[in-house]
Structure 1
Amino acid sequence: MFRKLLAAAVAAAALLATGACGGASQAAAPGDKFVLRVGSIGNSNAISGPIGYWHEQGKLVPALESLGVTDIKVVTFQNGPDLNQALAADELDLALYGDTPALVAKGAGQPTRLIAQSQIKLDAGILAKKSGGPASVADLAGKKVAVQTGSYIHRYLLGALADANVKPAEVVHIYSTDVEAALERGDVDAAAVPIANYVALKAKGYPSIDLASQTHPKYLGTSSAVVTENFLEAKPGIVDAWQSAHREAVKAAKADWAGFVDYSVSIQGFPKKILEESLKPEQWVEEPFSEEGLALLTGTKQFLAENKFIRKDFDLDAWRVKDSA
């Protein structure tokens, strides 16, 4: 069942990719002035992470103005597959989202290039319903498990289940923001969620079954910054400009960690104490591509390819645009 869920995401990405080849970026010439269209995951039309923090301070647009950027339009989506649809429809120039949907889309033929890893070591965990729920990954056999499908959390869940040789009765797609209600009603026996949701639900008494960073570190996720090939052709300078902005934004966030946490609270809606526990400075490195980040990305692609979730395997080195420093 859980193989069918991600396989459906692969098929959808393939269909989208077939229609993604004809659109031309709004930035058609090197000297054009334009609004950069950025897709991100969230609910507040804001960019998360240090880049978002830098943008909120009014520093991102000036860092990109040499490209002709006059403003940035941020469009947020609840999950990666939804964002992939907008990329395929040429409604975005640049996207910031998890590695799993980015890899699945590229493997299905969607014309994108990876220009940075925005975040590494994305954690996730599995929790049970409060009464009579499973106590371990092994106990998920024959149970109903929720996850936001097509995400890095989904990949972690699949890996944890495969390692334990466990087959749940059903894996259902539920957005992470809606998981608590499903657990409370008993609609599902357990749920895999991002780290902030995990910390918040655990504090409310939902029993922990597993935490990726403690038991399955090889399944920690990364966050990708990708551009469409059309946009890269029109604005090749985006690579140097974005990677430079990435470096400066990470430096700024680490220099004012309390301010960065406050910004994250303002756009994510979690209590400050939850994000103080779940956000870790080591998740952001100044290099657009770090050795640790690339190792995690390589492992994720290998897992997806071996399990046929990537329709056509591809070379990561050919997909990513090397850093300029």
Structure 2
Amino acid sequence: MFRHLARTALTLVVLGSAVACGSGGDGSDGYTLRIGATSPTGTPAGSLGWGDKEGILARELKEAGVDKIEYSFFQSGSDVASALIAGAVDVAAIGDNPGLRTRSKNPEVVLLSLDSINGDAWLVGAKGGPTDIEGLVGKSVTAPQGTIRDRAAKQLIDAAGLTGKIQVRDVPTPESIAGLSSGQIDATVVTGASAIELEHKGFPIIDSLGRHGMGSTGTNIALTPFLDQHPGFADAWRTAVTAVNRDIRDNFDEYAQWVAQTDGTELEFVKESTRPDEFNTEPFPAEGVDQLQAAYDFLDADGSLENSFDVREWAGAKS
């Protein structure tokens, strides 16, 4: 997926990896597209990386006048969103939590597309600790505040009817995993192959969003002034995202192998944590919009949104 946890402590700005999309410096009227995302490797990861590697993004966005693509990588989705609002990037490819929060602050934030749906998150416990969520009563769960993992922790606690009985602490994922290993942390929420890797190392999977029919989405957002300046861009972006995802579904084994290599993990962990149906081939599939609405409802009830807005209109008006 376009959004990934950054394991580095500093923001990585990768300008040297600009990808030529046009005929080069020939004085054309094309422009450089600046994409902001998070990445564990400092290079385009997930479906964004696959689209970059296979040349799909360059090909599809060329029709909208994009001559080059520059990537900036940040520590969190919230950081990417802040860069978008500040004008440092043109498109933010982030999780639904920061996407929804950003739209609640600024009505000029446009939802270009969903780049993934059905995203899972796992509640992983310490070795020798509780193996069910009831065993965490009076204890704490860690997750970076404002992220999908944070919301997942709260959703799983809520689904168990234990709201207020289990604390959710704001701790970055690398520190959480280290604390889990040392026994200093009771449980944390992890996404992707990292969760399956921990399970194979003997850490118990206590619960997951998927067990409750819940899931997360990836949002791609831009600002109205940018889209007004480039009127053909939104349609080209949606075509590009769905073309990338279609290619991943058609070549899933090759994609999984590439993810395992770039993320430095085992192929079996990638395949256990990632399913082809996470890669939507429509920009706003009904299932994904339902998941986005569910995320909005939870954040709204939690008091995490500054202003209310119509999620289905935000997505549906663009479909």
User: What TM-score, normalized to structure 2?
Assistant: 0.85
Out of 218, 226, 232, the residue aligned to residue 227 of structure 2 is 232
| 1:320 match: secondary structure | helix
| Cα distance in structure 1, aligned partners of 2:77 and 2:47 | 20
Out of 175, 199, 202, the residue aligned to residue 199 of structure 2 is 202
Question: Paired residue for 1:172?
Answer: 169
| 1:314 match: secondary structure | coil
TM-superposed deviation, 1:224: 0.5
Gaps of 5+ in 1: 1-30
| Cα distance in structure 1, aligned partners of 2:29 and 2:301 | 43
2:223 partner amino acid: T
Q: 1:186 to 1:114 in 2, by over 3 A?
A: same
CA contact (8 A) 2:117 2:288 kept: yes
RMSD (Å) for aligned C-alpha atoms: 1.9
1:131-162 Cα distance to aligned partner (Å, 9 max, x none) = 3x222212222212211221112111111112
| Cα distance in structure 2, aligned partners of 1:175 and 1:135 | 22
Q: How many residues align?
A: 291
Question: Paired residue for 2:44?
Answer: 47
| Cα distance in structure 2, aligned partners of 1:283 and 1:169 | 30
TM-superposed deviation, 1:310: 0.9
| 1:36 match: secondary structure | strand
Q: Which moved more, 1:180-189 or 1:96-105?
A: 180-189
Give 1:183-194 correspondences, 5 Å limit.
Answer: 183-194=180-191
| 1:201 match: secondary structure | helix
1:70 partner amino acid: D
CA contact (8 A) 1:37 1:74 kept: yes
1:313 partner amino acid: S
Question: Paired residue for 2:13?
Answer: none
CA contact (8 A) 1:176 1:194 kept: no
CA contact (8 A) 2:246 2:279 kept: no
Question: Paired residue for 1:116?
Answer: 113
1:155-204 Cα distance to aligned partner (Å, 9 max, x none) = 11111112323235642223323332111222211111113221111111
CA contact (8 A) 1:116 1:224 kept: yes
Q: 1:90 to 1:267 in 2, by over 3 A?
A: farther
Question: Paired residue for 1:288?
Answer: 283
Question: Paired residue for 2:154?
Answer: 158
TM-superposed deviation, 1:209: 0.8
Q: Which moved more, 1:140-149 or 1:276-285?
A: 140-149
Question: Paired residue for 2:253?
Answer: 258
2:272 partner amino acid: E
CA contact (8 A) 2:37 2:71 kept: yes
CA contact (8 A) 1:64 1:241 kept: yes
| Cα distance in structure 1, aligned partners of 2:45 and 2:257 | 12
User: What TM-score, normalized to structure 1?
Assistant: 0.83
1:78-115 Cα distance to aligned partner (Å, 9 max, x none) = 32212122112111100111101110111122631101
The share of aligned pairs that are identical, in percent, is: 27
Question: Paired residue for 1:217?
Answer: 213
CA contact (8 A) 1:148 1:176 kept: yes
Name which structure has the greater RCO, CA cutoff 8 Å, separation 6+.
1
CA contact (8 A) 1:114 1:321 kept: no
1:45-80 Cα distance to aligned partner (Å, 9 max, x none) = 333333431211223112212322111111222322
| Cα distance in structure 2, aligned partners of 1:78 and 1:270 | 20
| Cα distance in structure 2, aligned partners of 1:278 and 1:161 | 22
| Cα distance in structure 2, aligned partners of 1:71 and 1:235 | 15
Out of 306, 311, 314, the residue aligned to residue 311 of structure 1 is 306
Question: Paired residue for 1:64?
Answer: 61
1:294 partner amino acid: V
